[in-house]
Structure 1
Amino acid sequence: MTENTHYHDDHGHGGTEIQPANTGVIWRTFWILAAITAVEFTLAFLMHAGGFRTSLFIIMTLVKAFYIVGEFMHLRHEVKSLIWAIVVPVIFIVWLLAALLTEGGSIFELR
């Protein structure tokens, strides 16, 4: 094999360079999720137990879940129709769970 037919470059990478990881996005995501979690912990200690506090926790948990799905599962970078095809059923499932939880307690009132 002559020097002219050698397919690798001088560094032995074969012409493909691996790009460095974009750790800035990962750290930004970490700090946003850490801040939401810190707010959750603060509210857990400062607020009295009740429906309002529970509602806040559910909302913040859903915000974190959608943020995680958007960032780490790359849903944020997809076409809008795919995003809506995933988000709308989730909204109905959350509504169903809320309805079941609120109406489920009424069975004890009938007795």
Structure 2
Amino acid sequence: MSDHTHGTHEVGEIPPANTGLIWRTFIILSVITAIEFTLAYLMKAGTLRTSIFVLMTLVKAFYIVGEFMHLKHEVKSLIWAIVIPVVFIIWLLVALLTEGGAIGDAVFGFH
């Protein structure tokens, strides 16, 4: 048992920082957010502006997941296994909201 060794490291030994990646991510997300704020003040409220906001939010979410959960380095089949269900869930929500509104109009006479 005395010949058993444990892997140790020197006190004060710190792995190299990955600040470049963090700053790049910060800048990319800041630029997208600045574009969102600019569009919020320049465009009239409506479906187009809301669609752009949702799309840009999804872009930021997928970028964050890719960077910080390291999914951009995974095989494409794993990425598609995550993206395709999200797309179908979004499609389902849009379909339910649209059809629910149509049914509400038909049954209750909302105009």
The normalised TM-score by structure 2 is 0.81
The separation in 1 between residues aligned to 2:68 and 2:78, in whole angstroms, is 16
Structure 1 equivalent of residue 52 of structure 2: 56
The separation in 2 between residues aligned to 1:107 and 1:40, in whole angstroms, is 33
Residue 90 of structure 1: how far off its partner (Å): 0.6
Structure 2 equivalent of residue 101 of structure 1: 97
Residue 82 of structure 1: how far off its partner (Å): 0.8
Structure 1 equivalent of residue 10 of structure 2: 13
The sequence identity of aligned pairs, in percent, is: 73
Between structure 1 and structure 2, the one with the greater Rg is 1
**CA RMSD for the aligned pairs?**
1.8
Give the gaps of 5 or more residues in structure 1.
1-6
Which aligned segments of 4 or more residues in structure 1 are displaced greater than 3 angstroms?
Answer: none
Determine helix, strand or coil for the equivalent of 1:109: helix
Determine helix, strand or coil for the equivalent of 2:15: coil
Residue 22 of structure 1: how far off its partner (Å): 1.1
Give the gaps of 5 or more residues in structure 2.
1-5
Q: How does 1:21-32 map to 2 (within 5 A)?
A: 21-32=17-28
Is residue 42 of structure 2 the alignment partner of residue 46 of structure 1? yes
The normalised TM-score by structure 1 is 0.81
Structure 1 equivalent of residue 71 of structure 2: 75
Residue 99 of structure 1: how far off its partner (Å): 1.4
